[in-house]
Chains A and B, each alone.
Chain A
Amino acid sequence: MKEPAISSDAPGEKLLMLGNEAIARGAMEAGVQVAAAYPGTPSSEILETLTKVAQKFDIYVEWSTNEKIAFEVALAASICGVRAMASMKHVGVNVAHDPLMTASYIGAKGGLVLLSADDPWAWSSQNEQDNRYIAEQGYIPVLEPSSVQEAKDMMADAFRLSEEFKHLFMVRSVTRISHGRGDVVLGEITRERRKGSFKKDRSWLVYTPVAARKNRLLMIERFERIRQAVDTLPYNRLKLVDRARLGIIACGLSYSYTLEAIKWLELEERVSVLKISTPHPLPQELVKKLLKSAAEIIIVEELEPFVENKVKAIAGEANIPVKIHGKNLLPVIGELSTRKVTEAIARLTNSKPPVNFTKLDKLSEETAPILPWRPPTLCPGCAHRAALYAINSAAQRVARDYGKPTEPIYPGDIGCYTLGYLPPLEAVDTTICMGASIGIANGLAHVVAAPIIAHIGDSTFFHSGIPPLINAVYNKANITVAILDNSATAMTGFQPHPGIGHTATGEETTSVKIEDIARACGVKFVKVADPLDLKKAADVLEKAIRFEGPSVVVLRSPCAIIEQREKRQRGEKTIPYYIDQDKCNEKCGACIKLLGCPAIVKENGKTIIDGPLCTGCGICVQVCPHNAILQES
């Protein structure tokens, strides 16, 4: 593995970094010894970066089976006095929520940092949840970087603060920090390594009601001390301008948009700005100072009015007569931008943005109708396409026997296969959260009469698919579960998982077999099939759907991207298919209509295969009614 530039041991050096690399670097500078994560955009590159330096810097890193476990692994290390972190996307924190709510009672011995990567505008997510609320619920202080440099610095400081206050800290990133780039000045890497030691202490670690009550009090005290400290934390900064009418409170990344907006509107000498990096707990004294200095205030923050509501409460309690704006002028939905912030500030200052946004909007609107629709799609050769096609054919066959018109139902899950919701496959009827395919199927089985086929990826099955499968067996839900095993966590960047046979750092390990798990759960019909053989796969699936009681079919075929990559490395050639135009019926188009493979396209009325894109999976051959698709020799 090539050593990444960020392992450079040259303090003071300036490097370009991805936000997630900077976060990893910050942890290295703090001397993190244990890092656990489950992949999820936009957080995955943090642990990926750490795997590359794990050996050199003696850091234990793991891809955990899910976020709850990742957090527990880090918590255990902290209890033993070792600096530890868990990183995950915002919805991952929901999975870790249970231990998290008691972890704040425990606090921290070794510095403990939870990195939550939120995703405003849900670029790669099922929702836009704002994890500052989770932090608030658990008395967990939050550090929120405004730049890539700060992401590194805060991450390093979070460990230090965690030990100083004996409490866990959350660093909350967002997509534009995690996947942002910036120049970062390196600090020193901590090389010192501690030995973990577990000291039995039941009143601290065994959460009986008595321990809960006692530790809850201690937690509240710790949090109070942190509240008092954040006013002097250098990340929170107040710039008061004499006689400024408007005060701006800018939180996290929004601070960067705010600075640009102020510069754009040339208001540097006319507005006061409070930069907030700890939305929880707020630096109350700084907030009060600003509130007292201005006639109007605007809070600039992405997503929910989290800071806004607190500021309003502070103003009310302290009886400060000031008009407070926020979500009345800025959206709760999506990301902020320099434009949005500029427009809001312009309204409050009667100034005029130097760019005519209305004209640009009009240009965009006029352009939109001629733009092609380019959704992300299953790759050429993706076995999920074959699997979903086979599921469709099998389920339709069974549905026909229901007597009256019946539509099979496909509770789906989260992964590349979610893209099968698009035409022509249209084989995803629900997508809610990881593991919900099987959970929803359980519920459906008791209320509707239709073939119910849940499908779920291999990584997702390990993550949260097993308890709902057991539930189906226990409660006799008549469902079929198709496990789409491409031997990767593909959607998030091909990370390994318990079924792969190697760990995050590439060490060999036991590969856990999905079919063994299904059998051990008590499923009586368990079969493995190759989805690229459409007919055989559909026949197996049909039997499974007709089976009385829960059934499982593992559809196993490796991720085409990984396979192509490995083939290239081995120097093997891919032999693509082509369409014999003498045999092809131009009006048919079955291959395009049934499969939607991006390698099959129409050109001047003819259907052709785009050779360089074709991986040679051969499923189009199986659906062509004219035997017109042939492999190049």
Chain B
Amino acid sequence: MAKEFNVLITGVGGQGAILMSELLGEAAVKDDFNVRGSEALGMAVRGGSVVSTIRIGSEIYGPLIPMGKCHLLIGIEPAEALRNISYLSPSSLIILNLRGIVPFTVSQGKSNYPTQDEILEKLNRASRQVIRLDAACLAEEAGNPITANMVMLGAAFGGGQMPVKLETIKAVIQSHFPAKLAPVNIKAFDLGYQACQQAVKN
């Protein structure tokens, strides 16, 4: 059994990070792992930055990932992934959605949004493996743009390091959604999974 596998999900309020960590955590419990995690609920969800953590394994105690100990970063929003750079180590796997959400402060001229190159340059300095994808595009391919979070979750499994079984997470997704919505979410998950596997091979 894995001793410790730490997953950090970063994004913006409303992108579905909480649901991802809930599903992942539930699947990990079903696979009989110990699970710890923490959510940003409340003030932070009004369009602000959000961070969800899920920790899986036999030797985890606290709800938060210690600095430098993140194994897998799921960046649903690129600048928010960058904001959490101090959790990374050279061996962290980063799955990065390239679609940025520019905050209103940028339109108001009160702050700037980094370029994709700036983001990647910094992340590449922190970790050796950055896998990029366009989750919105794959979600549309799956049939609904709101499934971008399931694309990201699929990609997280496609990275190949996740201790939770593929069947388990799929069963959890299947039973979480009403029968009508489950297939499109599973499809989004599969597309993310394949995209990531493809990227890992290349």
Contacts and interface: CB of A to CB of B under 8 A. Distances in A.
B54 A181 contact: yes
Contacts of A596: 104, 108
A21 B143 CA distance: 33
Interface string A9-31: 00000111010000000000000
Contacts of A339: 66-67
Interface stretch (A216-224, A256-264, A304-312, A580-588): A256-264
B93 to A, nearest CB: 17
B100 to A, nearest CB: 9
A319 interface: no
B144 to A, nearest CB: 12
B25 A181 contact: yes
Contacts of A573: none
A574 interface: no
Interface stretch (B77-85, B147-155, B179-187, B188-196): B77-85
A601 B61 CA distance: 43
Interface stretch (A57-65, A370-378, A545-553): A370-378
B41 interface: yes
Nearest to A378: B46
A337 B45 CA distance: 22
A597 to B, nearest CB: 7
A253 B46 CA distance: 27
Contacts of B89: 355
B69 A355 contact: yes
A363 interface: yes
Contacts of B42: 41-42, 123-124, 179, 491-492
A372 B79 contact: yes
B37 A180 contact: yes
A162 B64 CA distance: 32
B114 A370 contact: yes
A593 interface: yes
Given A363-B125, A375-B48, A423 B64 contact: no
B71 to A, nearest CB: 14
B163 to A, nearest CB: 14
Contacts of A600: 107
Nearest to A357: B67
Contacts of B64: 176, 337-338
B160 interface: no
Interface string A569-600: 00000000000000000000000110011101
A2 to B, nearest CB: 10
Given A42-B42, A182-B37, A367-B122, A338 B108 contact: no
> Taking each of B22, B41, B62, B112, which has the highest tally of chain A beta carbons within 10 Å of its own beta carbon?
B62
A374 B112 contact: no
B38 to A, nearest CB: 5
Given A360-B68, A374-B12, A16 B114 contact: no
Interface in A39-87: 41-42, 45
A536 interface: no
A523 to B, nearest CB: 31
Interface in A520-546: none
A361 interface: yes
> Taking each of A357, A367, A596, which has the highest tally of chain B beta carbons within 10 Å of its own beta carbon?
A367
B130 interface: no
B26 interface: yes
B36 interface: yes
B21 interface: yes
Interface size class of B (residues with CB under 8 A): 35 or more
A18 B40 CA distance: 12
Nearest to A597: B104
Contacts of B29: 14-16, 183
Contacts of A264: 66
A147 interface: yes
> Taking each of B37, B61, B102, which has the highest tally of chain A beta carbons within 10 Å of its own beta carbon?
B61
A93 interface: no
B103 A373 contact: yes
Given A16-B35, A367-B122, A372-B105, A256 B41 contact: no
Contacts of A491: 42-43
Given A357-B68, A360-B86, A372 B63 contact: no
B141 to A, nearest CB: 18
Contacts of B107: 592, 600-602
B149 to A, nearest CB: 16
B122 to A, nearest CB: 6
Given A176-B63, A263-B59, A373-B103, A181 B108 contact: no
Contact of A338 (B26, B37, B62): B62
A135 interface: no
Contact of B83 (A16, A255, A371, A377): A371
A367 to B, nearest CB: 5
A379 interface: yes
Contacts of B82: 367, 370-371
A181 B44 contact: no
Given A176-B64, A372-B105, A416 B46 contact: yes
Contacts of B122: 363, 366-367, 370
Contacts of B41: 41-42, 45, 124, 179
Contacts of B39: 18, 179-181
Given A16-B29, A367-B122, A592-B107, A259 B38 contact: no
A419 B63 contact: no
A374 B46 CA distance: 10
Contacts of A419: 46
B49 interface: yes
A407 to B, nearest CB: 22
B191 to A, nearest CB: 21
Given A424-B108, A597-B104, A181 B63 contact: yes
B96 to A, nearest CB: 15
B62 A372 contact: no
A604 interface: no
Interface string A159-203: 000000000000000001101111100000000000000000000
24 contacts: A14-B29, A42-B41, A42-B42, A180-B37, A180-B38, A180-B39, A181-B35, A183-B34, A257-B62, A260-B66, A337-B66, A338-B67, A355-B68, A360-B68, A371-B79, A372-B112, A375-B103, A376-B47, A379-B47, A419-B46, A424-B108, A596-B104, A597-B104, A601-B104
Closest 10 CB pairs of A and B: A41-B42, A124-B42, A376-B48, A376-B46, A181-B37, A180-B63, A373-B111, A338-B66, A256-B61, A355-B68
Given A42-B42, A260-B66, A371-B83, 16 more contacts: A16-B25, A18-B39, A41-B41, A147-B61, A176-B38, A181-B21, A182-B36, A253-B63, A370-B122, A372-B102, A374-B79, A376-B45, A376-B48, A377-B104, A379-B46, A596-B108
Interface of A: 14-16, 18, 41-42, 45, 123-124, 147-148, 176-177, 179-183, 253, 255-257, 259-260, 263-264, 337-339, 342, 355-357, 360-361, 363-364, 366-367, 370-379, 416, 419, 423-424, 491-492, 592-593, 596-598, 600-602
